[in-house]
Chains A and B, each alone.
Chain A
Amino acid sequence: MTRTELNTPPTPSRAQRMRALLRAMFSTSLDLSASRMRLAALGFLALYGVIAIKLVYLGFKPEAATTRRAAAEAVAASRPDLLDRNGEVLASDVKVMSVFAEPRRIIDKDEATELLTAALPGLDSRELRERLGSRKGFVWVKREVTPHQRDEVFHLGLPGVGLIAENKRVYPNGPIGAHVLGFANVDNQGIAGIEKYIDGQGLADLHGAGFGATPEELKPISLSLDIRATHALRDELEKGVAHFKAKAGAAAIMDVNTGEVIALASLPDYDPNKPTEALDPMHINRMNVGVYEMGSTFKALTIAMALDSGKVNLNSRLDARGVLSFGRFKIHDYHAQNRALTVPEVFTYSSNVGTARMAMGQGVERHKAFLRKMGQLTRMRTELPESAEPIVPKNWGELNTMTIAFGHGLAVAPLQAMMAVGALMNGGYLMTPTFIKRGEAEAKDGAERVIRPETSEAMRYLMRLNAEIGTARKVNIAGYFVGGKTGTAEKVVNGHYSKTKLFNTFMAVAPADNPKYLFLTIMDEPQGLPETGGYATAAYNAGHVTGEIVERVGPILGLAPRFEPPHQPFPLLAKLGYGYANVPARGGGGH
C-alpha cells in the first residue's frame, strides 16, 4: 500500500472504510510504524510508571504491625553475662517459654480462656477473658512457664495462642554479691545495681532502636568482685551479726591501689532471683545507700590533715587532760589518760580530746576544705545507681569541727569513708571505688593526689601501731602485718546521743607496709556479751569480725603471709627521723 492511495479521499462506502481502517492498523510500512512504536512505548511507560509509583507508595507506607514484630518488641531482651574478676558467672540469661495470644485470631474466646486457665494454674480467668476480648494484636497470657506447662499449652492447639522463647535473668549465687549486681525485671531491663548501670551504658538505647542484640554480640562484663572472697566475707559477717545480735551489718574489701571493690555484703540481704525482697527497706545496701556517723575511724582523716599541713608531726604532743569544754558541750575521752599525748598515742588511745584539738589547730575552713577534697561532703557516685548524699551540718561552726574530728556530726556512706581511708593508705591517691574490673594504671590515671606520700606512710604506721598495741589488736592476724582502726559512734535517739545504741565501724589495711586491701566492717547496734565483759564497743564486735574476715580471705585473695616482720616497713619515716616506726611496738594500750 502506498501513500498516494491512502491519501486519496475515502469512498463513502462503509465496508471500504472498514477495510481501509484495518489495513491501516495492520500496516507494517516503516513510515507508519515509527509513530506506532512511540505510542506503544508511551503505553508501556505509563504502565511501568504506575508500577513504580505503586512501589514508592508501598515503600513509604508504614508496615502493618505483624505478630512477630509485636512479639519481638515485647519479649525480654538479652543481656550480657556478668562475671566476677576470676571469670565465675554472677548473672546469666537462660531461655524460658512464655505464652502469648493474638485476640483477633482466637475463634472461641470463652473456650480459650477455660482451657488456658486449666493448663496454667494461677491465672485469673476473668482478667484473662478481658485481655483476650481486647482488640489488640498481641497480649501476654503468662510469662515464664515451666516446661510441663509449655507442653500442655502446645497440646491444646488453640488457634491464636502461641509460645515464644524469652530471656530470663538468673543469679546462680543467690544473695552473694546481690547488692552490687542489683536485678532485672521480667522484661530483662536492669532495675538496680550494676544491671541498671549496664542499661545506662547504651544497652537500653540499642534495644529501644529495635536492635535486639543477640547473645553472641554482647560481651560479658567482668566485675571487680571476687565471688569466693565475697562469700567468705558474707559468711563471717553473718556469723558476727548473729553472734553479737546486731540489727544489721555490712562489710567490704577494697583494693586500695585500684579502687576496685573486691567483696561487698550488707546484711540482711535478699536473693536477686526474687526481686520483690529487694524492696524491703531493711535490705538496702548499707555500704552505699546508708549514711552513718563513722565514729573514730574519722580520726584517721583528722590526723592525716594535721600531719599533711606540716603543723603537726609524729612527735607533737597534744593536751588531752580532762574534758574539753565548749559552751555547754563537753568532750570526753573513752580511754582517758589525763596527760599530754603524742600523735601516735592520740590514735592508739583513740582520744577524742586530742583529735578535737588537732582539728581546732587547723581551723574550721581548712577542716572543711580537707574533707571536701577527700570527697566526704558531696555525694559519691560509683557505677551503682543507688547512692546517698552525706548529711553535712548546715551551720558548720567550731563545735562541728571538734565533733566531726572524731566522727560525730557528719554522716557519710561507709564506702565513701573507705575511699578516703584508701587514699590515706595508698600513698595519697583518691580513687572513686569501682565495681568494674580495672588495672592499677587506669585507676591512677583518674586519681587525684590528696596527701603527701610521707603522710600516707605515717598513717599506715599509726594503723599498724594501733593493731600492735592499740584498740585494733583483734585484727592483728599473724603473718599479714595488718593495721586497723576502731570506730564506735553513739546513735542519735530522739535528738540525743545514746550510750547504749552504738554504730560500730572497723577499718583494717593489709599489709600495712605495702598496702593492698582495705577492709571495712560496720555493725548496727551490736550487743555486749558476757565474753566481751558486756562491752559493745567496736573492737569487740566489728574488730573481731574484721579479724575473722582477714584471716579467712587472706589465702583466697593470695595475700602472702610473712612470719618475720618486714625489715623496714616505713622507709620514708626512717628518712624523716622517725626510726622508731620501724621497730615493732611492744606493751599495752587501751582497748
Chain B
Amino acid sequence: MLRFLNIVAIVVLVGSAVYAYSIKYQTSYRAEQITKTKIEIRQERDAIAVLRAEWAYMTRPERIQQLSDAYLPGMKQVDVTQVVTAQSLPERSPRVDSIGQKLDSLGLSMPATPPVSGGASTTTPKAQAQERRKP
C-alpha cells in the first residue's frame, strides 16, 4: 500500500513537473509573441503617423491652390451668388418616365407585365439570359 502510494506520488511529481515545464514554455512563447506583436503595432503606428503627416503635407491648402491654379484654369473663386439654400431650390416635378414615353410614341414599348413567371422582374439580366437559354 505504502509502495503504491509512493509510486503514485512519484508519477504525480513527474507529471506536474512536465506540466509546469510545458506551461512555462508556453508562457514564454506567448510572451515572445506579445512582444513581437507590440513591436509590429508600434511600427504600424509610426508608419500611420508618417502617412498622416505626409497626407497633411500633400493636401495642405497652399499646395492644392497651386495645383488648382495650374491644372484647373477655368475654375474661379466661389462667388456668394453661387451659394443657395435648400429652400430656394425649385420644387421637384412629379416623376415622369420620359424614356418610357418616348418608347411608347415610337411603338417600341414592351409589355408592362413580365411575360411568363411573376418573379422574372426581380432577377438580374444575366439570370434572365440563363433562363431563356433553358430548353
Contacts and interface: CB of A to CB of B under 8 A. Distances in A.
Interface stretch (B18-26, B51-59, B119-127): B51-59
Interface in A354-407: none
Interface string A288-323: 000000000000000000000000000000000000
Interface string B81-94: 10101000000000
B61 A89 contact: no
A172 B53 contact: yes
Contact of B77 (A173, A479, A552, A561): A552
A105 interface: no
Given A173-B56, A560-B85, A94 B62 contact: no
Interface stretch (A17-25, A185-193, A227-235, A437-445): A227-235
A554 B80 CA distance: 8
A89 B83 contact: no
A393 B65 CA distance: 46
Contacts of B53: 89, 92, 94, 170, 172
B59 to A, nearest CB: 8
Interface string B4-32: 00000000000000000000000000000
B61 A173 contact: yes
A227 B61 contact: yes
B36 interface: no
A176 interface: yes
B80 A477 contact: yes
Contacts of B54: 172
B46 A95 contact: yes
A561 B80 contact: yes
B78 interface: yes
Contact of B56 (A88, A477, A555): A88
B34 interface: no
A94 B80 contact: no
B45 interface: yes
B50 interface: yes
Interface in A227-268: 227-228, 231-232, 235
Nearest to A563: B81
B83 A560 contact: yes
B62 A173 contact: yes
- B53, B55, B65, B83, most chain A CB atoms within 10 A: B53
B60 interface: yes
Nearest to A84: B56
A479 B77 CA distance: 16
A94 B51 CA distance: 9
Contact of B49 (A90, A173, A215, A480): A215
Contacts of B49: 92-95, 215
A43 interface: no
A551 interface: yes
A478 interface: yes
Given A173-B56, A555-B80, A95 B50 contact: yes
Given A95-B46, A555-B78, A89 B62 contact: no
B94 to A, nearest CB: 29
Contacts of B61: 173, 176, 227-228, 231-232
B46 A94 contact: yes
A89 B80 contact: no
Contacts of A174: 60, 62
Contacts of A228: 61
A127 interface: no
A552 to B, nearest CB: 6
Interface string A463-486: 000000000000001111000000
Contacts of B85: 560
Nearest to A477: B80
A89 B56 contact: yes
A164 to B, nearest CB: 14
B65 to A, nearest CB: 7
A88 B55 CA distance: 10
Given A89-B53, A95-B49, A555 B62 contact: no
Contact of A478 (B46, B78, B80): B80
Contacts of B56: 88-90, 92, 172-173
B89 to A, nearest CB: 14
Interface in B37-51: 45-46, 49-50
Contacts of B46: 94-95, 165
Given A555-B78, A561-B80, A176 B50 contact: no
Given A95-B49, A555-B80, A561-B80, 18 more contacts: A89-B55, A90-B56, A93-B49, A94-B46, A172-B53, A172-B54, A173-B61, A173-B62, A174-B60, A174-B62, A176-B61, A176-B62, A227-B61, A228-B61, A231-B61, A231-B62, A480-B80, A551-B77
5 contacts: A94-B50, A172-B53, A477-B80, A479-B80, A479-B83
Interface of A: 88-90, 92-95, 165, 170, 172-174, 176, 215-216, 227-228, 231-232, 235, 477-480, 551-552, 554-555, 560-561, 563
- List 8 A-B pairs, minimum CB-CB distance, nearest first: A231-B61, A172-B56, A172-B57, A89-B56, A479-B80, A561-B80, A92-B53, A95-B46
Interface of B: 45-46, 49-50, 52-57, 60-62, 65, 77-78, 80-81, 83, 85
